Amino acid sequence: MSILETRSLYSGYGKIKVLFDVNFKVEDRKITVVVGPNGAGKTTLLNSIMGLATIHSGDIFYEGRKITSLPPYKIAKMGIAYLPQMGNVLSELTVEENLRIAGYLLPMKEIKERTKEILEFFPVLKEFVDRKAGTLSGGERRMLAIGMALMRRPKILLLDEMSTDLAPILVKKVMEKVVQLRDELGLTIVMVEQVAKKALEIGDKAYLLVSGTIRFEGNSGELLSHPELAKLYLGIAGR
């Protein structure tokens, strides 16, 4: 069952079009991976969903309701959380302060409850609860950013390049947490990733974007082992 979809979407920034006739479906409680070369339009797809890009034509639906061009704050209130690639934590504030700010619209009692739950889900953050976010490692900051997004109990998480600048062992840990979000919390995940192989290994469904158009839609494993597409666009040797 699709919880989020775009229909014949043409979008970009101002007069510039980046995406062309993109039909994109996200299934409930699944991990949907969006991969492709640099400049393919992957981040623009997420920005379009969140109301941060210019929609030239086409529509976006969430739980059957058209959300095309709604302002970002309304989309967020509906249950979609977006973690951009950079600038997703406040470096001068502690881990706990970051979480509290992320839940600023919630009653104080619920903020405390959610903070406790998130620290239990991310034990590494529990150890550094009073440390400033800027002193955390790259992997720890990614965990904090995800925790901040979880404060308001979203139904969908849009993750943009969570593996950027992380060592391979930390990429593995982040991917494991994404799987936990799906399996233990029942979240729907849309993951844009440059580290295509790792993302496709944990994904349920995959889309390959090239020059703003969809070149592949299907099972993640199929794209991972595709003899031509994986090698040509993702730098992965087919199995």
Round to whole Å and give the CA distance between 51 and 60. 10
User: Is 97 within 8 Å of 58 (Cβ atoms)?
Assistant: no
Q: Looking at the structure, do residues 159 and 65 belong to the same domain, yes or no? A: yes
Looking at residue 163, its pLDDT comes to 85
Looking at residue 237, its pLDDT comes to 61
Residue numbers of the domain that contains 58: 2-79+154-234
Q: Looking at the structure, do residues 104 and 147 belong to the same domain, yes or no? A: yes
3-state secondary structure at position 151:
coil
CATH number of the domain enclosing 35: 3.40.50.300
Looking at residue 190, its pLDDT comes to 98
Q: Looking at the structure, do residues 181 and 110 belong to the same domain, yes or no? A: no
For range 60-89, the mean pLDDT? 92
Which of 153, 186, 206 corresponds to the end of one domain? 153
Q: Looking at the structure, do residues 146 and 159 belong to the same domain, yes or no? A: no
Q: 8 pLDDT band (50/70/90 cuts)? A: very high
Which of 129, 153, 177 corresponds to the end of one domain? 153
Q: Looking at the structure, do residues 177 and 220 belong to the same domain, yes or no? A: yes
pTM over 0.85: yes
- pLDDT, one tens digit per residue, over 58-72 is 999 999 999 998 999
Is residue 178 included in any domain, yes or no? yes
Q: Looking at the structure, do residues 179 and 223 belong to the same domain, yes or no? A: yes
Q: Looking at the structure, do residues 163 and 71 belong to the same domain, yes or no? A: yes
* Res. 238: pLDDT tops 70: no
Q: Looking at the structure, do residues 65 and 171 belong to the same domain, yes or no? A: yes
Length of the chain: 239
Total structural domains in the chain?
2
Q: Looking at the structure, do residues 75 and 190 belong to the same domain, yes or no? A: yes
Q: Looking at the structure, do residues 223 and 125 belong to the same domain, yes or no? A: no
Mean pLDDT value across the chain: 92
125, with CB counted inside 10 A (0-12, 13-18, 19+), is buried
